[in-house]
A and B are shown apart, each in its own frame.
Chain A
């Protein structure tokens, strides 16, 4: 039995679209959300490589090359996990948290460690997730908390924890930030073990006032006060709804109801997501098929919908660079932009030509930008020979129907979040000639539908 529109919408948002297996046994939303999928941590980089960027001269070059290779492997591994239908909900959640707790980490080991924290807790307790991320070496380094000391406080970490990670702007004062920064003094990590350490000597033990609470507050106290504030539940609920439901303004009643239950559940992310995906309004027509896919969502979708894999992980990294979304390299702590920000004349041209390049072993003459940073290991010329391997014979057995129109109807429903215009359907029909064998035909149909503007939406 084929999946229905509801399931398709759910999987486009909670994952990266339908996968070939879904055409055989329709997954029920309840079953998919019944319990969280298994967490599949990434373990590619070994700890010894932590100091890779420090040494000088020849040794530095060798370690730099090694780090470069590891960043590529890490990136490639995550892309393939994102595209793995058996863990799609958890991986999509991990991608959301990577955007929420946006962090650029140079050392591949630290990047991997943080990514696994996000993955492990992506459907768990936000309380636990926030605590672990706040004590994560990569985050402490990125937000300069290693430099946050009693005699010279650095407010960067405290500011972003409040502004971007928990409460949102306007819910605290500058004085609160100063006091929170003092409370976080001494939160650091040991570069040799890559573990959190509390450096008592540089911790400011003096009395502080934070959001009306007085005492010799420590970092843990700040997080507790923040989590006790219902505004944090509201802010996180809004962020999740903007990402999974609708980018624009949502009904205040929805948000209020969801955030109250999120707060009452002790910040249980899984319950919140289940509530969202089980609600009637999530499936309302005004929320369907109108979200512009981020570049990673676009690529992960192409992979999971075809079961394809990149012949060369460099190609995947090249696409990420060309479309301005490199995993592990968000533009700033605010995360990636959304919606129409992804689309300009050159990015749209490239996005719409992507399936043709990938599935027909194309070579693009597009050049991705170099950000000028010689230590940025993603600034490689990369492979512009783009190629995705997919098993078209297998896909043919999944998708061939008794006639041309039915087959195209099936693929159209399977790939697109919204029906194409009549003119586009005609264009697809013209492109898909029946002269070749079945796998050839299916491939042409996939490439054609994926080239439509409608495919840019989820």
Chain B
């Protein structure tokens, strides 16, 4: 027997055949592209503080081997990429992309007065604030605010269940989802959907309540559109097992679905290697490199000309290893830029200077906000100064 509730749900869904969406929101689906061109930015966050020195190894530097008697990557096993630097052996797949001219590495990236606490430093990277400033919005969120008032929430998508601060603007926020199916099925026939359909945000005057109804309607509108479009773009690419690769695969499907999404955000956690670092770090680097390589191959050369992958971590680790076979929180670190359309490839700047340290930590040479400024100005083609609240030099990798 059909219960009353089921009956209502059925009839609601039945009449429209699809999720009911207020008409004015349909307009969002065809919203004008806020950014010129069709460039995509994929941000990969390595959470926990990746050990940059054991990732891009200064294999000719005695200071490195002295500081890390049991942790250093041996000269023999390093995948040599330049006269001074090489990849950790677990990064064979990243090395392959490097050989193909798809990878730029920027060394010594950080910010003045570095903070060694995870949450604070990640806050700084995500909000693009100075280290003595506190912002409630993220840099991608402010990109949405400043460039894209008519955009749908899926202009920036994080592949996760919850949304990072980086993706939250003052008036516009990106959306978080694990995959289009989970999002769509989670809302279909749901009370959330029923309430949204029965009300119109336009009729709600109170600003806070209006915001809630608007968010609901946009969520449903975007979920429906993404589901519809991604259905025709199932990836046949071969990916390694695991959550990280699965998330990249979802990004690939969304990119191929030709959504007007400009920014994708994916995290990989576990880099806080204080204790017995070797195996864990190796596993994480392989997960990263194998996933990214599969993703790049899946998209192919043509699409990769439109895609830039930025990889960062909240900080690097100390130059010297600790007494537990691990490394403690450090400061400056390397950043990877991967694309089929790099203007400058390979190692972009000087190798880390291990002879001049600040209390055992690397001194930053490039402000991370210069990387953001470059991406905003040259890739997403929006003026970076307003978004970053200050003017930063742009770099030449794109």
Q: Write the A331-365 contact mask toward B (1 if CB under 8 angstroms, else 0).
A: 11110010111011111110011001000000001
Q: Report if A125 contacts B (CB, 8 A).
A: no
What residues on A are CB-neighbors of B118 within 8 Å? 371-373, 376
Q: Write the B359-373 contact mask toward A (1 if CB under 8 angstroms, else 0).
A: 000000000000000
The 4 nearest A-B residue pairs measured at CB: A372-B47, A372-B48, A334-B134, A345-B219
**Nearest-CB residue, chain A, relative to B182:** A365
What residues on B are CB-neighbors of A368 within 8 Å? 161-162
In the assembly, what is the distance between CA of A367 and CA of B178, in Å?
A: 10
Besides the known contacts A346-B175, A348-B216, A367-B160, 6 further A-B residue pairs in the complex with CB atoms under 8 A apart: A343-B173, A346-B162, A346-B177, A367-B162, A372-B118, A453-B216
What residues on B are CB-neighbors of A376 within 8 Å? 118-119
**Nearest-CB residue, chain B, relative to A334:** B134
What residues on A are CB-neighbors of B123 within 8 Å? 331-332
Partner of A345 from B134, B153, B199, B211 at Cβ < 8 Å: B153
Report the count of interface residues on B (CB-CB < 8 A): 66
The total of Cβ contacts below 8 Å across the A-B interface reads 161
Q: Report if A423 contacts B (CB, 8 A).
A: yes
| CB <8 Å contact, B176 and A346 | yes
Beyond A345-B153, A371-B119, A374-B274, whether A290 also contacts B207 by CB under 8 A is: yes
| CB <8 Å contact, B212 and A372 | no
What residues on B are CB-neighbors of A352 within 8 Å? 191-192, 195
Q: Write the A425-458 contact mask toward B (1 if CB under 8 angstroms, else 0).
A: 0110011010000000000000000011110110
**Nearest-CB residue, chain B, relative to A286:** B206
| CB <8 Å contact, A367 and B219 | no
In the assembly, what is the distance between CA of A451 and CA of B192, in Å?
A: 8
What residues on A are CB-neighbors of B340 within 8 Å? none
Q: Report if B168 contacts A (CB, 8 A).
A: yes
Interface size class of A (residues with CB under 8 A): 35 or more
In the assembly, what is the distance between CA of A62 and CA of B49, in Å?
A: 24
Q: Report if B194 contacts A (CB, 8 A).
A: yes
| CB <8 Å contact, B208 and A345 | no
In the assembly, what is the distance between CA of A356 and CA of B199, in Å?
A: 21
Min CB gap B25→A, angstroms: 13
| CB <8 Å contact, A427 and B194 | yes
| CB <8 Å contact, B47 and A371 | yes
What residues on A are CB-neighbors of B117 within 8 Å? 104
Q: Write the B296-340 contact mask toward A (1 if CB under 8 angstroms, else 0).
A: 000000000000000000100000000110000000000000000
What residues on B are CB-neighbors of A372 within 8 Å? 47-49, 118, 122, 269-272, 314
What residues on B are CB-neighbors of A454 within 8 Å? 209
| CB <8 Å contact, A292 and B208 | yes
What residues on B are CB-neighbors of A418 within 8 Å? 206, 209
What residues on B are CB-neighbors of A44 within 8 Å? none
| CB <8 Å contact, A346 and B191 | no
Which of B123, B165, B204, B208 gathers the greatest number of chain A CB atoms within 10 Å? Answer: B208
Q: Report if B187 contacts A (CB, 8 A).
A: yes
Min CB gap B62→A, angstroms: 28
Q: Report if A424 contacts B (CB, 8 A).
A: yes
Q: Report if A81 contacts B (CB, 8 A).
A: no
Min CB gap B134→A, angstroms: 4
What residues on B are CB-neighbors of A324 within 8 Å? 162
What residues on B are CB-neighbors of A367 within 8 Å? 160-162, 178
- Show 11 residue pairs from A and B whose CB-CB distance is below 8 angstroms, ordered by the A residue: A56-B324, A329-B119, A345-B173, A349-B186, A366-B161, A371-B269, A372-B47, A373-B48, A427-B198, A453-B213, A454-B209
What residues on B are CB-neighbors of A456 within 8 Å? 212
In the assembly, what is the distance between CA of A421 and CA of B202, in Å?
A: 13
Partner of B195 from A365, A366, A452 at Cβ < 8 Å: A452
